[in-house]
Chains A and B, each alone.
Chain A
Amino acid sequence: MNENDSVPMVQMLSPEGEFAVPKNYAEYGSYIERLTEEDFLKFYRDMARCRRFDNEATALQRQGQLGLWIPAIGQEAAQIGSGYGVGHGDHIFPSYREHGVAITHGIELMSILKMLRGVNHGGWNPEETRFHLYGIVLGSQVLHATGYAMGVKFDGKVNTGNKADDLAVISYFGDGATAEGDVSESFLFAANTQSPIVFFCQNNQWAISSPTASQTRVPLYRRGEGFGVPGIRIDGNDVLASYAVTAKHMDDARAGAGPFMIEALTYRIGAHTTSDDPTKYRSDEEVAYWTARDPLKRFEIFLRRQGIGEDFFEEVAEAGEKLATEIREATFALKNPDMEDMFKHVYSQPHPVIDEQLDWLKRYEASFGGEN
């Protein structure tokens, strides 16, 4: 299904749910050994939560409640696994499809729906959550992440001798964004400064209607090589591989190893956005092939083999329905922003033109005599 399928990649859970750590990836396997059963259940809960959220958001868009929805269906393992591989002090610079990563870092899901309804541009505090705003212009956020990582390095927050004080940065982007100059420039700046950053590329195989082959002639995990950024490919539908490889390279980055690239090979089972029609550019067979490799099903099989019972899966399904009801109701209850909001924070200090235009708009609206 993919011309690069022969490329070796880190996989710990086979599509059939068999767990095995190949010898050459033992350094990653040690990260799984440290996980408890509760960690495994948390991974599954959040993947399922992400999936249910995604489906409900798609429904809300179809009902006209959201202007647009950007599904991440099929990419939950790549996102939840790597999201939990990021330390609590680390900073995350996401692209616009990172709902799973957002879940792992405490972003309120309604913030994402507000943004796609058109209430604001995100609204969460990126300093407090360490999860920055979604990057919309492809690749733009990767440079911000790199600059941030350079700052971390300049601050001496790498390899301090006290691991709790060390920091690293991770930036998420897709296969399409790798074609942007900003991503290449990020590799260069990060490598030259040996800054603590992990470049996490979710290769979901489609950039809207363009296949990955139209962005690259060599496997993407090698894209950084010429800049001095080594990389590895992982099975992006394997939540354990995604967790372990991210955690290991974030640790390495914090310890001063410099930048690293992870290519998570996954598949965008859904459309690019609700405005897209993937039936025009890809086959049903291809979608069926990848649906059979659904990351949730794979992890479910693994958990059942571990002895996790039906109760747990029922509880997760119920929690999903509860979440769906909650966000549906919360979306219906969302208020439109105040007219004045769009004039705020354009500048940090008063600005004569903006102040004057807002005054005019208020007088204009008031001239109709009613409420705004």
Chain B
Amino acid sequence: MANFVEMPIAKAINAGLRKAMSDDAKVLVFGEDVAQLGGVFRVTEGLHAEFGDSRIFNSPIAESGIVGTAIGLAMRGYRPVAEIQFDGFIFPAFDQITTQLAKMQNRSEGFHPMPVVIRVPFGGGIGAVEHHSESPEAYFAHTPGLRVVTPSNANDAYWMIQQSIASTDPVMFFEPKRRYWQKSQVNLDSAPLDLHSARVVREGTDVTIATYGPMVHTSLQAAEVAASEGISIEVIDLRSLSPIDFPTIIASVEKTGRLVTVSEAPNSFSVASEIAARITEECFFHLQAPVLRVGGFDIPYPAAKLEEIFLPDADRILEAVDRSRAY
């Protein structure tokens, strides 16, 4: 009998971190306010009491310093797990992530493995002020040398954080902050998939939706509504944004002939754009309609009272499904 426990995503990441820290003394957790407070989202709550200052500590409020020292610690043989407090605060660290962390293995010809995980709560929907609701994943998926993943449920969160820490490549770990307290079953005994595999979370035959992170939940809502109207939607949770598990998407599109992508990020130059381009190359003769993208608009993330209009919801997704089916 597998050992299942129901918990929210935030607690699942916490449990995954605890497991990784217990299994390997080289795992260090640091970032702004992660110690006694447990982070502003309490994801690291209790870890400081359990592991102490030598394993989890508050860093100065200096994101470039957080990532830059994580690189040095990795060179020393540690496995740093650095938290960036909010998506919109990652940019002071952008240089260290893209010019240093991402390239260090390549430029050192493999002498420096880079087992660094950067945890980033991302996405909107929490009524926050500016710079707290963004979806910057494409910048990192565009950067060779990084791996980019995002769990959408507690089981994946528990296992993917551990798999990311075990990786000898740097991993950007995007956490769907508005789903932090959404509960689901976690299987404590075995990992469901490897880190970079996508999962078909709902089978269907008419249209494929490829989505990730916070939009998996929304896409499943849309699929449920569509089902009541006799439309069968297959929903794929990408889980990994770099690399993307294209074989899973291709197999689905070969079956349905239609693909809609769903994400919160602005569509232009996005993960969705990459999927659209690639599926057009790989599945041209299977497509019954062009790949359609449902995303945020190409504007700065708006003030909170407008975010429900900015963010895709089930209706926006179904509008795209209808357009796809109309071809």
Residue numbers of A with Cβ under 8 A of B are: 120-123, 125-127, 132-133, 137, 140, 142-152, 154-155, 181-182, 185-186, 188-189, 192, 344-349, 351-354
Contact = CB atoms under 8 A, between A and B. Distances in A.
A148 B78 CA distance: 9
Contacts of B73: 147-148, 150-151, 154
Nearest to B80: A147
Contacts of B111: 125-127
Interface in B94-139: 95-96, 99-100, 105-113
Contacts, number: 128
Contacts of A352: 243, 246
Contacts of A147: 68-76
Interface stretch (B59-67, B148-156, B210-218, B298-306): B59-67
Contact of A349 (B67, B71, B168): B168
B78 A344 contact: no
Interface residues of B, number: 41
A346 B190 CA distance: 29
Contacts of A127: 111
Interface of B: 28, 54, 59-60, 62, 64-65, 67-78, 92, 95-96, 99-100, 105-113, 144-145, 147, 167-169, 243, 246
25 contacts: A121-B108, A125-B111, A126-B112, A132-B75, A137-B100, A140-B96, A143-B65, A143-B67, A143-B68, A144-B100, A148-B73, A148-B75, A150-B76, A151-B72, A151-B73, A151-B76, A185-B60, A189-B60, A192-B60, A344-B110, A345-B109, A345-B110, A347-B145, A348-B168, A352-B243
A121 B109 CA distance: 8
B280 to A, nearest CB: 16
B164 to A, nearest CB: 13
Given A126-B112, A189-B59, A145 B72 contact: yes
B78 A151 contact: yes
Contact of A144 (B62, B75, B144, B147): B75
A186 B106 CA distance: 24
A177 to B, nearest CB: 13
A360 B75 CA distance: 33
A154 B65 contact: no
A143 B60 contact: no
Contacts of A344: 106, 109-110
B64 A185 contact: yes
Contacts of A148: 72-73, 75-76
Contacts of A353: 243
A143 B65 CA distance: 6
Given A189-B59, A189-B65, A348 B110 contact: yes
Most buried by B among A121, A148, A186, A188: A148
Given A126-B108, A137-B95, A185 B65 contact: yes
Contacts of B246: 352
A349 B145 CA distance: 11
A348 B246 CA distance: 21
A122 B72 contact: no
A127 B77 CA distance: 11
A121 B70 CA distance: 22
Given A145-B72, A151-B72, A151-B73, A346 B96 contact: no
B169 A348 contact: yes
Given A143-B96, A192-B60, A133 B108 contact: yes
Contacts of A348: 105, 110, 113, 168-169
A122 B107 contact: yes
Given A123-B109, A146-B68, A346-B105, A189 B62 contact: yes
Contacts of A123: 109
A154 B79 CA distance: 13
A345 B65 contact: no
A143 B72 CA distance: 7
The 6 A-B residue pairs with the shortest CB-CB distance, nearest first, are: A147-B72, A143-B68, A151-B76, A147-B69, A185-B65, A148-B72
Contacts of B74: 147
B147 A140 contact: no
Nearest to A124: B111
Question: Quick one: which of B62, B67, B113 has the most chain A CB within 10 A?
Answer: B62
A223 to B, nearest CB: 16
B21 to A, nearest CB: 14
B78 A154 contact: yes
Nearest to A136: B99
A140 B95 contact: yes
B54 A144 contact: no
A143 B76 contact: no
B106 A346 contact: yes
Contacts of B67: 143
Greatest chain A CB density within 10 A among B64, B65, B73, B77 is at: B65
Contacts of B76: 147-148, 150-152, 155
Contact of A182 (B64, B75, B78, B107): B64
Given A140-B96, A189-B59, 4 more contacts: A133-B107, A143-B72, A155-B76, A186-B65
Given A146-B69, A147-B73, A349 B169 contact: yes
A332 B71 CA distance: 36
A123 B59 CA distance: 33
Contacts of B72: 143-151
A346 B145 contact: yes
Given A347-B145, A352-B246, A150 B69 contact: yes
A145 to B, nearest CB: 6
Contacts of A345: 105-106, 108-110
A194 B112 CA distance: 25
